[in-house]
């Protein structure tokens, strides 16, 4: 019967409906409204009926009333003036004796986004928020969020936020849950004001409501709890204890939100605590259970497990089997399971994993098969003992001759060769047999690499390479790059006795294209290849931390921070994991935990080293810079630049003193302790702050700040690219940190006979992701014998690859004549950031927490500065003295440094008055940077 | 939160549309743009669905499918994704409870009801009480019922209250309850008979027809509980019961169960909803009784012929009977003809399903049966080898493959004059095949 409604509604005209709506008969009226709603649903515009429908509003038939309200919600916005007609009925309904009708009215009114109506909404809403019936209150709580979305100012002015806060203490659990949901949403658009005001008392209320409210309410409360930072490990543990029962809830979202709270608060627990281990064990079973949910939820769960496995691999390391793919799993579940299998693969389970992967490689879905083949290669790289079996499995797969399987296998074998050089070359013959079937760029590039790399072991390497060269012009850049490299590679190995003139000539062409300097070419091409990393596609640690804070949400499904897919202000705020704070030494300020978030687990930098070193440089875009950079009138650009530079240097001057002033009470302790030590009175411990410290410290720091006019250390310019290597272009330069930004200061000199134009610059991947923040601003042509100074702002958002030495930077500069390559090294102090001052307690905890094998000792010889002067000097380059202690005529400075990528280094600098030698002990979770930091210490102190 | 909810038929026509938030309809065309985007990019997409979450132009779409009906939730925010899917499933449950199967016709016939439900269970995109038991007290298809003041406040206190799943004042002449232990046993076995993975996922479904607000306590042979009792009680009893107890990997409960009590004492206590509901779900992996063993033998005779022999063995007490046994043997796509011989049951080659389907009505424990088939193949140029999908099995057995036993279900209702002994209780065990596969 209603089916008819759907059909006729399309045909039936507005006129007929109008008549029916105005009918005297109630039944007819109701049927007409139904037809209107049906038309609305299928997308027909029935807004013309607005007055007629609103006329039906005053009825005692609840069903009819609901339909009219539904209509109003849809069309009120397009007919604001007429919507006012409805206000009276709403206001009246808000006073109805039936709580269901009161709630209905306040619920609907909030959905009508017409300014004039919202004014009338305030009074009824105020009453409903204090209604005797919980059903009305819980509806009114959500209504505040609705109103806030329409007119935030109004909500604040009317004091609704306070009423909403009061509802958190309501006796009814559902009212509490909705109030929490509304407040959480409102506070997202006010990140700074502490709307929710979470404190141990309110947390206790929430935890009580958690046991009593609906499954959805539990989710709201858990998601809200996750935003709280407990004061210390004891509070953290007690919250965890009360949240763990939720892991047995039938609703997967409740479980995932509980997991989020636990994963976050666990960060604060000491690892040696028994409870810590218990909690870890409790997390695995519910995560596995999520995999027996419906496929869509499995997908959400798997995306989250992928994050959890990266953050805490120990939780699921014994659960490999549950991630085995089932034949009938939807493809999205299969791909995610495979991803997790690779992450969990270890020596203990590798045999099983390989057997599974081989099975998957024969399935139907091409993406899945490719991923499975790739996974076999990852296993070989990850678990050395399995490499041989992996290679033989891959060879088996190549024998299937399935085109995409073969190509994928060759790509991963290349990686295996890179990881284990000269070990499996016996398989090369088999690979060469399949040369003809390779039609994908990545596979061709891989094959060329293999042939070039093992040229001396392949009899007909020349021919093979040449066969690839035939299609040179049609190839993608990936392949051509690889060809260039490998032809050159072969060339540099045996140029003199290559008796194939064709190959030699071609080689020369590429050679010239690359550089005019054969020595440099050899340096570049035959350079040590970077090690291949064991883990693939690891999420960058700070992002991972943020995503852990978003477990269960869309961000965790996309593996992207919310601001990457949410518009406007919502979700822009970055979340971080709390740092560990022991109850005995609880942090002095509540936000100390946040400001140093993640210190306790400062993860090592992720260094993916796939791809070829040279590849990137050769891929340099050869188009003139104007193509990608909007052309800005030179004069204006210059003006901005000057101003920017001026401001920068001003800020650079003042910032250290300013920030020092703010943290006066901490920074102040050195002098106070120093005094105490001098009189030989109190033994001053690292943790103790003498009462008088603060005031004196301020004075001292003021002085220090003003006296420190030099700012951070800038090494003198050095010649990076001599003119004879670059057709007359000489580049010298240095690096500087100014105003919190990194700059590469270059001097370009034209020693050639013609003018130079169209400059562009590009960096190769490097250890810290340094990359130009803008184009190289050489706007006027560079005339003969002219020198121009350019300051290139840099950022650290570029691609990352571990370099040797770590601070090496390979640069390509292009002008109208050619492309030139050079490499230079930057002082690592360039990367010391301004907020690198660690809280004292955190410093102490972190120092203890970093294992002693990560400690390195250095001696800085023949040095005569006293400790205060040294401290001041270092501070100018963002090496911050956290505390100072004097023992046996030795000054001990405890210092913290933070690098741009979030790595912290902690230092103990021992200054003896008797000998002119400084002793430096460095502790860092990424010990490979220690050596470079030490070099910087010496550099900074001596200049 | 959820910005809007749309229901489509298989053609991509909108049957139900409910918009909760303005943000999904910004710009020209309003929320219609979102409706169309989903139709074009997901329903009409050529490719198989690659993800249940789709992001189109900064708008996220969550979808589930029931027969040929699509339910899509739309949002512009960083919502709790797990919650959205749970809600969509719940929404399906509620609709099924009201009008049966989710089909285009049923949706069209009940669209007014669906709008009313959507208004109630989702407010500004926040899920609200969605327990059918509670909803049915005030969302009825009878139009307005004149409720007394007491009735009204009873409804609202139930919808918002601690026990939102049960109303007060339920009366039965005969207090009765039914417990079904439903298990699905999952297996992946290698051709050589090695268990690659096996687990049981079980559910305890309860139908309760009890008066008042009864307090229930459920007990089963959970190893942790038995061991704890064993320590306290006599040692010989512990030894005896220890054998019968099972190790539960993990379990989840209906929201009526007091989780904190389970966490601290491992006891399962609750006030049940009226009628049928799922009390708990659990998962076990240890000491599973695999009711059937499948032994495959596939031999390729030249390029145009396959010989297949499959033996099934039943592995449970001879006095029990398995039912609805079905073995599905996949055949290559280029099969031209099949000849089958089986000792028991009926076997047929189903070309449309690319499989030989062998059905046996009943089979007792500790028996075995065999099928052999010759498969003729058309010669093909396709280089790709046949993927050999696993042989799958379906069956039903009258016991719980996990070994789970219900030890008691006690009912206490202090206010009414019936005791635990007066309640008639029924317990039934059914073990079914989940994904029960043997590779060949």
Where does the pLDDT of residue A489 fall: very low under 50, low under 70, confident under 90, or very high at 90 and above? low
Residues of B in contact with A59 (CB under 8 A): none
| Residue B8: strand, helix, or coil | strand
Q: Name the pairing type of β-strands B176-189 and B424-438.
A: parallel
**pLDDT > 90 in chain A, percent:** 23
Residues of A in contact with B111 (CB under 8 A): 2, 5-6, 37-38, 41
B361–A contact, CB cutoff 8 A:
no
Q: What are the structure tokens assigned to B381, written together?
A: 């140029």
Q: Which of B248, B229, B251 is nearest to B240 (CA)?
A: B229
Q: Which among B62, B111, B280 is the nearest to A2, CB-wise?
A: B111
pLDDT of residue A536: 59
Lowest mean pLDDT among A254-268, A689-703, B63-77: A689-703
pLDDT of residue A786: 85
Q: Is 60 exceeded by the pLDDT of residue A596?
A: no
Question: Higher confidence at residue A191 or residue A813?
Answer: A813
Residues of B in contact with A326 (CB under 8 A): 188, 435, 437
φ and ψ of B308, to 5 deg: -125, 130
pLDDT of residue A654: 38
Could you read off the pLDDT of A849-900 as tens digits, one per residue? 888 778 888 888 877 778 888 888 888 888 888 888 877 778 888 899 988 8
- Edge to edge, what strands does the sheet with B391-397 contain? B250-253, B275-284, B195-209, B176-189, B424-438, B391-397, B321-330, B355-364, B346-350
Q: Which among B1, B35, B162 is the nearest to A212, CB-wise?
A: B162
Segment A487-504 shows an average pLDDT of 50
Q: Which fold has domain B176-229+245-288+400-438?
A: Immunoglobulin-like (2.60.40)
Could you read off the pLDDT of A60-81 as tens digits, one per residue? 778 888 888 889 888 888 888 8
Q: Name the pairing type of β-strands A741-750 and A787-795.
A: antiparallel
Interface test with B, best of A327, A434, A547 (most B CBs within 10 A): A327
pLDDT of residue A66: 87
Could you read off the pLDDT of A231-242 as tens digits, one per residue? 888 999 999 999
Interface test with A, best of B9, B58, B83 (most A CBs within 10 A): B83
Q: Is 80 exceeded by the pLDDT of residue A827?
A: yes
- Return all residues near A888 (Cβ < 8 A) that are at least 6 apart: none
Q: What's the mean per-residue pLDDT of chain A? A: 77
- Return all residues near A683 (Cβ < 8 A) that are at least 6 apart: none
CA–CA separation, A572 and A562 (whole Å)? 7
Q: Are B143 and A195 in contact (CB under 8 A)?
A: no
Q: Are A277 and A241 in contact (CB under 8 A)?
A: no
B408–A contact, CB cutoff 8 A:
no
Where does the pLDDT of residue A181 fall: very low under 50, low under 70, confident under 90, or very high at 90 and above? very high
CATH pick for B292-397 out of 3.10.180.10, 1.20.1090.10, 3.30.70.120, 2.60.40.1170: 2.60.40.1170
Q: Which of A219, A220, A161, A168 is nearest to A194 (CA)?
A: A161
Q: What is the CATH number of domain B4-130?
A: 3.30.450.60
Q: Which of B438, B282, B307, B304 is nearest to B371 (CA)?
A: B307
pTM of the model: 0.69
- Return all residues near B257 (Cβ < 8 A) that are at least 6 apart: B268, B269, B270, B279, B280
Length of chain B: 440
Full DSSP string of B149-194:
HHHHHHHHHHHHSTTTT--S----SS-EEEEEEEEEEEEEE-TTS-
**SS3 for B298-339, per residue?**
EEEECCCEEEEEEEEEECCCCCCEEEEEEEEEECCCCEEEEE
Q: Is 60 exceeded by the pLDDT of residue A722?
A: yes
Lowest mean pLDDT among A478-487, A825-834, B286-295: A478-487
pLDDT of residue B433: 95
Q: Which residues pair with B201 in a beta bridge?
A: B184, B283
Could you read off the pLDDT of A146-176 as tens digits, one per residue? 999 999 889 989 999 999 999 999 989 999 9
| Residue A102: strand, helix, or coil | helix
Continuous segment of H or E residues that includes residue A467:
helix A461-469
Could you read off the pLDDT of A452-471 as tens digits, one per residue? 777 777 777 777 777 766 65
Question: Are B86 and A550 in contact (CB < 8 Å)?
Answer: no
Q: Give the residue ranges of the annotated binding site of B.
A: 346, 348, 350, 359, 361
Q: For chain B, what are the domain ranges?
A: 4-130, 176-229+245-288+400-438, 292-397
B147–A contact, CB cutoff 8 A:
yes
Report the range out of A80-84, A372-376, B224-228 with the highest average pLDDT.
Answer: A372-376
Q: What are the structure tokens assigned to A261, written together?
A: 């709270």
Where does the pLDDT of residue A818 fall: very low under 50, low under 70, confident under 90, or very high at 90 and above? confident
CA–CA separation, B271 and B158 (whole Å)? 14
Closest approach of chain A CAs to the CA of B422, in angstroms?
A: 30
φ and ψ of B128, to 5 deg: -115, -170
Q: Is 80 exceeded by the pLDDT of residue A711?
A: no
Residues of B in contact with A171 (CB under 8 A): none
Q: Is 70 exceeded by the pLDDT of residue A587?
A: no
Question: Are B164 and A214 in contact (CB < 8 Å)?
Answer: yes
Helices marked H in A473-540 — which ranges? 477-494, 501-514, 518-525
Could you read off the pLDDT of A615-667 as tens digits, one per residue? 333 333 333 333 333 333 333 333 333 333 333 333 333 333 333 333 333 33
What is chain B's pLDDT, residue by residue, as a tens digit (440 residues)? 999 999 999 999 999 999 999 888 766 667 788 888 899 889 988 777 789 999 988 899 999 999 999 999 999 999 999 999 999 999 999 999 999 999 999 999 899 899 999 999 999 999 998 988 888 888 886 655 567 777 787 788 778 877 778 887 889 999 999 999 999 999 999 988 899 889 999 999 999 999 999 999 999 999 888 888 877 654 444 445 445 789 999 999 998 999 989 988 899 999 999 989 999 999 999 999 999 999 999 998 888 899 999 999 999 999 999 999 999 999 998 899 999 999 899 999 999 999 999 999 999 999 999 999 999 998 877 656 677 889 999 999 999 999 999 999 999 998 888 888 999 999 999 999 999 999 88
Q: What are the structure tokens assigned to B6, written together?
A: 């749309």
Name the B residues in 172-201 with CB < 8 Å from any A CB.
Answer: 188, 190, 196-197, 199, 201
Q: Which residues pair with B374 in a beta bridge?
A: B307, B339
| Residue A516: strand, helix, or coil | coil
Report the alpha-carbon angle A27-A31-A32, nearest 5: 115
Report the range out of A714-718, A931-935, B216-220 with the highest average pLDDT.
Answer: B216-220
Q: Which of A416, A389, A404, A490 is nearest to A442 (CA)?
A: A404
The interface pTM score, or ipTM, of the predicted complex is 0.84
Q: Which of A194, A192, A252, A201 is nearest to A222 (CA)?
A: A252
Domains B176-229+245-288+400-438 and B292-397 share a fold: yes
Where does the pLDDT of residue A189 fall: very low under 50, low under 70, confident under 90, or very high at 90 and above? confident
């Amino acid at each position: 019967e209603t089916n008819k409604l759907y059909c006729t509604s399309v045909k039936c005209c507005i006129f007929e409906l109008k008549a029916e709506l105005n009918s005297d008969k109630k039944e007819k009226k109701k049927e007409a409204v139904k037809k209107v709603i049906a038309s609305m649903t299928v997308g027909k515009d029935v807004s013309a009926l607005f007055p007629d429908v609103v006329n039906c509003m005053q009825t005692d038939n609840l069903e009819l009333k609901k339909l009219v309200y539904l209509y109003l919600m849809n069309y009120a916005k397009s007919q604001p003036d007429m919507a006012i007609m409805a206000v009276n009925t709403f206001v009246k309904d808000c006073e109805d004796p039936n709580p269901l009708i009161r709630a209905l009215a306040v619920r609907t009114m909030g959905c009508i986004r017409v300014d004039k109506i919202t004014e009338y909404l305030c009074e009824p809403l105020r009453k409903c928020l204090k209604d005797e019936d919980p059903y009305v209150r819980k509806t009114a709580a959500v209504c505040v969020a609705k109103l806030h979305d329409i007119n935030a100012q109004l909500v604040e002015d009317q004091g609704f936020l306070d009423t909403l806060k009061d509802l958190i203490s309501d006796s009814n659990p559902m009212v509490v849950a909705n109030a929490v949901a509304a407040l959480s949403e409102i506070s997202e658009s006010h990140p700074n004001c502490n709307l929710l005001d979470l404190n141990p008392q309110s947390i206790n209320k929430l935890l009580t409501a958690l046991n009593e409210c609906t499954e959805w309410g539990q989710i709201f409360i858990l998601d809200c709890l996750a935003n709280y930072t407990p004061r210390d490990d004891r509070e953290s543990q007690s919250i965890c204890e009360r949240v763990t029962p939720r892991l047995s809830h039938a609703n997967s979202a409740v479980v995932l939100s509980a997991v989020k709270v636990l994963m976050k608060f666990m960060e604060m627990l000491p690892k040696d605590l028994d409870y810590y281990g218990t909690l870890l064990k409790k997390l695995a079973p519910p995560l596995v259970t999520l995999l027996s949910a419906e496929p869509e939820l499995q997908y959400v769960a798997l995306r989250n497990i992928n994050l959890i496995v990266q953050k805490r691999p120990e939780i699921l390391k014994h659960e490999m089997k549950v991630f085995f793919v089932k034949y009938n799993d939807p493809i999205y579940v299969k791909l995610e399971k495979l991803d997790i299998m690779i992450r969990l693969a270890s020596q203990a389970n590798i045999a099983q994993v390989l057997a599974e992967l081989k099975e998957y490689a024969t399935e139907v879905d091409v993406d899945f098969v490719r991923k499975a083949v790739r996974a076999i290669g990852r296993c070989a790289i990850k678990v050395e003992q399995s490499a041989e079996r992996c290679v033989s499995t891959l060879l088996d797969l190549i024998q299937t001759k399935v085109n995409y399987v073969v190509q994928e296998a060759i790509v991963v074998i290349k990686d295996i060769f890179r990881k284990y050089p000269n070990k499996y070359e016996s398989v090369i013959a088999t690979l060469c047999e399949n040369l003809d079937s390779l039609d994908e760029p990545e596979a061709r590039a891989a094959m060329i690499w293999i042939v070039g790399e093992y040229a001396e072991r392949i009899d007909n390497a020349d021919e093979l390479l040449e066969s690839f060269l035939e299609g040179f012009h049609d190839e993608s850049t990936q392949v051509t790059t690889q060809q260039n490299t490998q032809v050159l590679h072969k060339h540099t190995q045996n140029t003199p006795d290559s008796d194939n003139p064709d190959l030699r000539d071609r080689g020369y062409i590429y050679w010239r294209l690359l550089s005019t300097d054969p020595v440099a070419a050899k340096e570049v091409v035959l350079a040590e290849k970077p090690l291949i990393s064991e883990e693939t596609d690891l999420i960058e640690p700070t992002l991972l931390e943020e995503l852990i804070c978003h477990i269960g949400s869309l961000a965790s499904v996309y593996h992207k921070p919310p601001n990457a897919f949410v518009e406007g202000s919502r979700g822009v705020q970055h979340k971080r994991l709390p740092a560990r704070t022991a109850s005995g030494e609880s942090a002095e300020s509540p936000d100390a935990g946040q400001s140093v978030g993640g210190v306790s687990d400062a993860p090592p930098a992720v260094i993916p080293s796939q791809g070829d070193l040279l590849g990137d440089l050769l891929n340099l875009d050869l188009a003139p810079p104007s193509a990608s950079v909007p052309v800005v009138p030179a004069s204006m650009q210059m003006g901005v630049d000057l101003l920017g530079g001026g401001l920068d240097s001003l800020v650079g001057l003042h910032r250290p003193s300013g920030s020092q002033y703010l943290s006066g009470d901490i920074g102040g302790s050195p002098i106070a302790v120093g005094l105490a030590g001098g009189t030989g009175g109190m033994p001053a411990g690292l943790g103790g702050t003498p009462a008088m410290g603060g005031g004196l410290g301020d004075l001292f720091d003021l002085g220090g700040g003003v006296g420190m006019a030099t700012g951070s250390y800038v090494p003198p310019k050095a010649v990076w690219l001599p003119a004879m290597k670059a057709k007359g272009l000489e580049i010298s330069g240095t690096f500087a940190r100014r105003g919190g930004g990194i700059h590469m200061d270059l001097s370009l000199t034209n020693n050639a006979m013609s003018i130079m134009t169209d400059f562009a610059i590009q960096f190769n991947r490097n250890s810290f992701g340094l990359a130009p923040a803008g184009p190289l601003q050489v706007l006027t042509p560079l005339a003969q014998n002219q020198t121009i100074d350019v300051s290139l702002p840099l950022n650290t958002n570029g691609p990352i690859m571990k370099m040797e030495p770590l601070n090496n930077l390979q640069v390509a500069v292009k002008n109208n004549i050619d492309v030139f390559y050079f490499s230079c090294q930057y002082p690592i102090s360039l990367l010391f950031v301004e907020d690198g001052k660690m809280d004292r307690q955190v410093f102490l905890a972190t120092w203890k927490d970093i294992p002693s094998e990560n400690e390195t000792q250095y001696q800085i010889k023949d040095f005569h500065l006293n400790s205060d002067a040294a401290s001041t000097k270092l501070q100018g380059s963002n090496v911050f003295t956290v505390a100072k202690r004097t023992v046996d005529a030795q000054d001990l400075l405890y210092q913290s440094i933070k690098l741009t990528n979030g790595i912290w280094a902690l230092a103990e600098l021992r200054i003896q008055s008797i000998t002119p030698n400084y002793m430096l002990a460095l502790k860092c979770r990424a010990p490979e940077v220690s050596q470079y930091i030490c070099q910087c210490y010496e550099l900074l102190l001596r200049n | 939160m959820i910005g809007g909810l749309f229901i489509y038929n298989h053609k991509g026509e909108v049957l139900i549309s409910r918009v909760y938030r303005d943000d999904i309809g910004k710009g020209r065309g309003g929320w219609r743009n979102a409706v169309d985007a989903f139709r074009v990019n997901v329903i009409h997409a050529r490719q198989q669905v690659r993800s249940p979450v789709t992001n189109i132009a900064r708008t996220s779409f969550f979808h589930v499918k029931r027969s040929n009906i699509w339910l899509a939730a739309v949002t512009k925010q960083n919502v709790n994704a797990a919650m959205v899917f749970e809600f969509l499933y719940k929404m399906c449950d509620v609709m099924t409870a009201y009008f049966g199967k989710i089909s285009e016709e049923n949706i069209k016939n009940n669209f007014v009801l669906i709008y009313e439900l959507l208004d109630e269970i989702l407010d500004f995109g926040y899920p609200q009480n969605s327990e059918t038991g509670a909803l049915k007290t005030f969302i009825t298809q009878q139009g307005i019922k004149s409720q007394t003041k007491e009735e009204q406040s009873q409804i609202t206190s139930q919808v918002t209250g601690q026990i939102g799943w049960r109303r007060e004042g339920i009366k039965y002449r005969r207090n009765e309850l039914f417990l079904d232990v439903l298990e699905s046993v999952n297996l992946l076995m290698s051709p050589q008979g090695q268990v690659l993975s096996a687990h049981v996922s079980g559910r305890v479904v309860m139908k309760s027809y009890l008066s008042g607000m009864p307090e229930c306590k459920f007990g089963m042979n959970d190893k942790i509980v038995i061991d704890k009792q064993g320590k306290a009680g006599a040692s010989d009893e512990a030894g005896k019961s220890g054998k019968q107890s099972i190790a539960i990997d993990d379990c989840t409960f209906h929201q009526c169960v007091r989780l904190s009590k389970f966490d601290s004492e491992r006891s399962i206590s609750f006030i049940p909803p009226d009628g049928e509901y799922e009390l708990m779900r659990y998962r076990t992996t240890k000491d599973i009784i695999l009711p059937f063993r499948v032994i495959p033998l596939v031999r390729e005779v030249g390029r145009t012929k396959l010989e297949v022999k499959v033996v099934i063995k039943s592995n449970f007490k001879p006095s029990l009977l398995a039912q609805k046994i079905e073995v599905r043997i996949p055949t290559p796509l280029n099969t031209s003809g099949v000849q089958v011989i089986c000792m028991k049951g009926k076997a047929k080659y189903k070309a449309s399903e690319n499989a030989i389907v062998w059905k046996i009505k009943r089979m007792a424990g500790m028996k075995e049966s065999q099928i052999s088939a010759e498969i003729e193949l058309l010669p093909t140029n396709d280089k790709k080898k046949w993927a050999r999908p696993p042989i799958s099995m379906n069956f039903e057995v009258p016991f719980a493959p996990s070994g789970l036993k219900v030890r008691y279900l006690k009912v206490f209702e202090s206010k009414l004059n019936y005791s635990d002994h007066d309640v008639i209780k029924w317990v039934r065990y059914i073990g079914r095949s989940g994904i029960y596969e043997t590779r060949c």
